[in-house]
Amino acid sequence: MTPTAATPDAATAIDVSGLTRRYGAITAVDGLSFTVPRGQVVTVLGPNGAGKTTTLETLEGFAAPDAGSVRVLGLDPWRQSGALRPKIGVMLQAGGAHLSARAGEALSLVARCSANPLDTGWLLEVLGLGEVVGVPVRRLSGGQVQRLSLAMALVGRPELLILDEPTAGMDPQVRHLVWDLIRAARRDGMTVLLTTHLLDEAELLSDRILIIDHGRLLADGSPAELVAGSAPELTFAARPGLDLIELAGLLPADVTTAEPSPGHYRLTGQGISPDVLATVTAFCARNGVMPQRMHTGARSLDEVYLQLTGSQVRS
Amino acid sequence: MTQPAPTFPDGIFRPDPRPASAARMVLAAASTELRIQLRNGEQLLLAVVIPLGVLLGLTLTTVIDLDEPRIDTVTPGVLTLAVLSSAFTAQAIATGFDRRYGVLKRLAATGMSRSLLIAGKCGSVLAVACGQVLLIGVVAAILGWHPAGSWPFAIPLLLLGVIAMVGLALLIGGTLRAEAVLALANLIWLVLVGIGGVIVPLSSAPGWLRTVGGLTPVGALSDGLHAALNSDVVPSARVWLVLIVWTLAAWAATVRWFKWQ
């Protein structure tokens, strides 16, 4: 039986179909469609201005779609925000805590909006905010404000977490803690939708990655699916100007050699094999150079991303 | 060998989203806002120090010519000033900056509806106003204040005044940019102190000022309080009408135009 709008699909947390959102002449989101199954961690990747935050705002009921439909936990976020919002935990890009409130007070206020909140003392402690419970929000560091904001998203035990750049401004240790936290949330049955600029973060955490740009969906798949389907490659670094014509002569015909930037070498082709690896190291040995950071495998998510979204810098 | 306890024990994040009751949410919003306001030096200056300063200054010095006993003439205006400062100026500025920093959006994301949020703000303003009236009343009593026979009318008048001024505060704070709110709320405070019968009762002001000032919510409130606290007559219908019209207009506009961010 196909689910209808009236009987929401219990297995789908988010269902976006043909979503369009304009700001004056600018189309921020342009016919975007995707679904997020319950219990998964899905990451939205895209350059600045790709439409990520606008998409999240329509899911949270802060913006109405100009076209298309959005269902979150079976509800219309714009018309049924009152029923939806208690079920979702939202981390806003701009913290949202009162600057004069103390960190503990700010979290307590959000916790008191829930009938069965997490223990705020534990949550602050575990996020490394135990020492700053009594410190006004305006005196917290950027990373501390981010953690407080994450705590606010979690404290009401939501079914769905929507996190806008959760690890922005966090140092590496804290970022790992947040990754552990997101994994624990997934383990315990929460659905998580997050945005990030960090490709390694997306790759490590996500069941699925959506790459969007100019408000359109460019790719949708698991990290493995996104990098699959490309020719294997071998990359290494060495002194610039190695004789690639000589090297190419030693390799199978379908392997192409290139030096995309001085000192960085890339070999691509289905013929990449252990023999090719041995040939390359022997070639390096004859030339008296030590190959550094040798890597074989498919192209990285990084390359997929840059290929899809272009490599020019956006403001 | 014992393992260290895991940072995130199994099941700790099992979903169980249940909103608190509306009453608890309003109480949470009101009490948090109240605590923040009470810690804020500028707000305390505006809400308590300036009105008490005016009360003491006008009563103990005779620079400005006022009817005797001076304390009876001064107290209704000081009560009006206190309400204007906390319910209007302070609340407008607080709301403007709450929007700027995403505080209201954050609460909305938690499931607090606009009406609960506004109820919370009204709750905190009313609590502050009660404290102000009590404090000013006690200090005035020490200075020899004797409210007259129709003083019970002061209670609904003050309540109506607070509600009208919170409505105006939310209208300005909920629609303009934070900097514009800051400038405008202070400017309006200054103008209304000037023409609203706060320092010198409107009854002893020139005719045009009496008319114009009497049509402002501050003028109507100070007029009404003078009548209730200094005589045995019921505050005039004009006073009630002006306050009710301002209340309805401000709240209708707030409901229509208030923006979360």
Is residue B6 assigned to a domain? no
Alpha-carbon gap: B87 to the closest alpha carbon of chain A (Å)? 19
Chain B residue closest in CA terms to A84: B111
Is residue A170 domain-shared with residue A52, that is, in the same domain? yes
Chain A CB contacts of B8 below 8 Å? 126, 180-181, 184
Q: CB-CB: which of B27, B36, B111 is closest to A101?
A: B36
Residue A248 has pLDDT above 50, yes or no: yes
Is residue A55 domain-shared with residue A164, that is, in the same domain? yes
Contact predicate A49/A42, CB 8 Å: no
For B177-195, the pLDDT digits (tens) are: 999 999 999 999 999 999 9
Kindly report the CATH number assigned to the domain that includes residue A75. 3.40.50.300
- Residue at a domain's end among A209, A226, A243: A226
Contact predicate A137/A97, CB 8 Å: yes
Is residue A131 assigned to a domain? no
Is residue B219 assigned to a domain? yes
User: What pLDDT sits at residue A3?
Assistant: 42
Is residue A53 domain-shared with residue A91, that is, in the same domain? yes
Is residue A194 domain-shared with residue A264, that is, in the same domain? no
Average pLDDT over residues A197-218: 91
User: What pLDDT sits at residue A303?
Assistant: 75
Residue ranges making up the domain that contains A260: 233-309
User: What pLDDT sits at residue A313?
Assistant: 60
- Residue at a domain's end among A181, A197, A226: A226
Is residue B87 assigned to a domain? yes
Number of domains in chain B: 1
Number of domains in chain A: 2
Q: Spell out the residues 6+ positions from residue A294 whose beta carbon is closer than 8 angstroms to its own.
A: A234, A235, A236, A277
Is residue A7 assigned to a domain? no
For B95-133, the pLDDT digits (tens) are: 999 998 889 999 999 989 888 999 999 999 999 999 999
Is residue A215 domain-shared with residue A252, that is, in the same domain? no
Kindly report the CATH number assigned to the domain that includes residue A284. 3.30.70
Q: What value does the mean pLDDT of chain B take? A: 91
For A88-115, the pLDDT digits (tens) are: 999 987 768 888 899 999 999 999 999 9
Is residue A44 domain-shared with residue A90, that is, in the same domain? yes
User: What pLDDT sits at residue A69?
Assistant: 94
Is residue A141 assigned to a domain? no
Is residue B5 assigned to a domain? no
Is residue A252 domain-shared with residue A164, that is, in the same domain? no
Residue A135 has pLDDT above 70, yes or no: yes
For A156-187, the pLDDT digits (tens) are: 999 999 999 998 888 888 899 999 999 999 99
Is residue A171 domain-shared with residue A87, that is, in the same domain? yes
The rounded distance, in Å, linking the Cα atoms of A229 and A281 is 27
| CB atoms B25 and A95 under 8 Å | no
Is residue A80 assigned to a domain? yes
Is residue B163 assigned to a domain? yes
Is residue A281 assigned to a domain? yes
The residue with tokens 């000192």 is: A263
Is residue A169 domain-shared with residue A247, that is, in the same domain? no
User: What pLDDT sits at residue B72?
Assistant: 92
Residue ranges making up the domain that contains B135: 22-59+67-257
| CB atoms A115 and B113 under 8 Å | no
Q: Report residue A300's pLDDT band, with 50, 70 and 90 as the boundaries.
A: confident
The residue with tokens 């505080």 is: B103
- Residue at a domain's end among A208, A226, A244: A226
The rounded distance, in Å, linking the Cα atoms of B158 and A103 is 35
Chain A CB contacts of B19 below 8 Å? 86, 113-115
Model's pTM, two decimal places? Answer: 0.83
The rounded distance, in Å, linking the Cα atoms of A159 and A220 is 23
Is residue B15 assigned to a domain? no
| CB atoms A159 and B15 under 8 Å | yes
Chain A CB contacts of B32 below 8 Å? 98, 101, 105, 108-109
| CB atoms A112 and B25 under 8 Å | yes
Residue B148 has pLDDT above 50, yes or no: yes
CB pairs under 8 A between A and B: 131
Chain B residue closest in CA terms to A149: B106
Length of chain B: 261
| CB atoms A188 and B107 under 8 Å | no
Give the lowest-confidence range in A72-86, B52-66, B154-168: B52-66
Q: Which residues of A touch chain B, with CB atoms under 8 Å apart? A: 60, 62, 81-82, 85-88, 90, 92, 94-101, 105, 108-110, 112-116, 118, 126, 152, 154, 156-159, 177, 180-181, 184-185, 187-190
Average pLDDT over residues B11-22: 94
Q: Report residue A2's pLDDT band, with 50, 70 and 90 as the boundaries.
A: very low
Q: What value does the mean pLDDT of chain A take? A: 89
Residue A6 has pLDDT above 90, yes or no: no
Alpha-carbon gap: A121 to the closest alpha carbon of chain B (Å)? 14
Q: What percent of chain A has pLDDT over 70?
A: 95
A226 vs A307, higher pLDDT: A226
Q: Spell out the residues 6+ positions from residue A220 whose beta carbon is closer than 8 angstroms to its own.
A: A34, A208, A209, A210, A211
ipTM here: 0.87
| CB atoms B101 and A96 under 8 Å | yes
Is residue B158 assigned to a domain? yes
